[in-house]
């Protein structure tokens, strides 16, 4: 049987990794796919630079549209990133009846609804396993392995840069700014680290996971996003003293009122497996009605881990080349005419527990006053930690863990607490999840 011909857009880190994996494991991949898979052409911005892969048998061009329009190419693999040129190229490939594999989470999160609709009209597949959590097959698990379940909630460490920073702060007592600088030097964070540390990268991925888990359209714009820049060394220490660890989580939960979509720093009990996922590793915890909790762990980035997911998608497409479009696994797990319009909850309506850190004057009655302001909003205290004053200072840090409360009511309580004369500065708030 004739080999399936691939056109590759981008020969950077993941592109080179994809070439290496396809070439090194060519025989094993062909046995699994039923046909040989051959990269016949690829585009790269700089054709003169040295590569971390063998491109001797691959026709190179600086024009990605030339790859898309090659009549011999059946599958386009988009690895250039961004949401402008990449969108144009992907839509052009679909228009020409070519299948698409992409690792571009921003493209799927922002334009997936349009892309999948056009792909369905043309009867082609768009595969995107590598767009979320690198080499972890979490999309396949949600879309196929757990298809007999109702997904109740999922929580994921889905950005390695943020996890590396929080791990270093906990293990070595380092400040956020110092660890961020090292992450940039190590190549974990970009020169502009906004997408990583502010949670935008994780929000792209969470939008995709939630859509597949709950059968809703992609709605990146409705994901509440909060970064880790306000987390201090002391918060990491206090969390440990109370039996928790701080992780930058993406959380999606189905409730009777609607869907929660939120990315923010989160206290989780240190005994949870996901609390012990450190460094640049990723993990996603999924709770479903039939199977219960399942944890998916592995490398969330890197050349060959991500290439592993890209190649798996290519094999899936090759296996499905001869099947009728209506018999294929739907892009977002649910049939396109069965997606739900259930509401996404604003963060003010989310119910969770909280960690609060505030600095107060060391005098009688202060804690009672704060507790009363919380009680006025029907918020109960679960635990309280008051530190000793340092070097004769009159101000001491107080840490409060609350029971579950509506965010809107906590906001009212914080506003009232910050107006007290005995409270110095702003109240630091970190959400808390037990992940039971």
Any idea which residues carry the catalytic annotation?
A: 205
Cα angle, residue 197 at apex, residues 11 and 351 outer, rounded to 5°: 125
Strands of 122-243 (E only): list them. 126-127, 151-157, 224-225
Q: What is the 3-state secondary structure (H, E, C) of 367-396?
A: HHHHHHHHHHCCCCEEEEEECCCCCCCCEE
Which residues does 389 contact at the CB level (< 8 Å), separation at least 6?
A: 362, 395, 396
Report whether 189 contacts 197 (CB < 8 A): yes
CB atoms within 10 A of CB 430: 22
Beta-bridge partners for 386: 398
Report whether 337 contacts 396 (CB < 8 A): no
CA count, 13 A, side-chain hemisphere, 426: 5
**Interstrand relation of 381-386 and 126-127 (parallel, antiparallel or unpaired):** unpaired
Report whether 87 contacts 116 (CB < 8 A): no
Tell me the two tokens of residue 100: 């698409």
Nearest-angstrom CA–CA distance, 31 and 22: 13
Buried b (16+ CB within 10 A) or exposed e, 147-176: eebebbbbbbbbbbbbbbbbbbbbeeebeb
């Amino acid at each position: 049987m004739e080999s399936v011909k691939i056109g590759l857009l981008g020969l950077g880190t993941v592109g080179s990794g994809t070439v290496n994996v396809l070439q090194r494991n060519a025989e094993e991949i062909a046995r699994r796919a039923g046909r040989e898979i051959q990269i016949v052409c690829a585009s790269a911005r700089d054709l003169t630079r040295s590569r971390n892969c063998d491109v001797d048998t691959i026709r190179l061009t600086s024009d990605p549209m030339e790859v898309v329009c090659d009549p011999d190419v059946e599958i386009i693999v988009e690895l250039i990133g961004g949401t402008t040129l990449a969108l144009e190229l992907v839509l052009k490939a679909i228009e020409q009846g070519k299948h698409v594999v992409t690792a571009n989470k921003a493209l799927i999160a922002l334009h997936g609804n349009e892309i999948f609709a056009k792909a369905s009209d043309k009867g082609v597949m768009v595969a995107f396993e590598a767009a979320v959590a690198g080499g972890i097959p979490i999309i396949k698990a949600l879309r196929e392995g757990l298809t007999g379940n109702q997904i109740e909630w999922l929580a994921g460490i889905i950005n390695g840069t943020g996890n590396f920073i929080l791990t270093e702060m906990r293990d070595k007592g380092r400040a956020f700014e110092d660890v961020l600088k090292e992450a940039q030097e190590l190549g974990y964070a970009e020169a502009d680290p906004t997408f990583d540390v502010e949670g935008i990268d994780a929000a792209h991925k969470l939008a995709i996971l939630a859509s597949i888990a709950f059968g809703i359209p992609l709605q990146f714009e409705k994901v509440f996003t909060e970064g880790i820049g306000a987390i201090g060394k002391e918060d990491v220490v206090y969390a440990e003293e109370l039996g928790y660890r701080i992780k930058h989580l993406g959380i999606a939960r189905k409730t009777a009122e609607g869907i929660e979509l939120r990315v923010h720093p989160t206290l989780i009990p240190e005994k949870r497996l996901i609390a012990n996922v450190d460094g640049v590793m990723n993990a996603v915890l999924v709770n479903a009605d039939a199977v219960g909790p399942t944890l998916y762990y592995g490398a969330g980035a890197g050349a060959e881990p991500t290439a592993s997911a890209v190649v798996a998608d290519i094999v899936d497409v090759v296996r499905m080349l001869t099947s009728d479009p209506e018999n294929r696994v739907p892009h977002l797990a649910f049939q396109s005419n069965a997606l739900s319009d259930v509401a996404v909850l604003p963060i003010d309506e989310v119910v969770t527990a909280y960690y609060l850190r505030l600095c107060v004057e060391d005098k009688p009655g202060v804690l009672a006053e704060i507790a009363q302001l919380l009680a006025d909003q029907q918020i109960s205290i679960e635990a309280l930690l008051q530190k000793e004053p340092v070097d004769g200072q009159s101000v001491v840090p107080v840490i409060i863990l609350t029971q579950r409360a509506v965010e809107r009511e906590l906001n009212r309580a914080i506003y009232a607490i910050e107006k007290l004369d005995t409270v110095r500065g702003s109240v630091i708030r970190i959400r808390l999840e037990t992940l039971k």
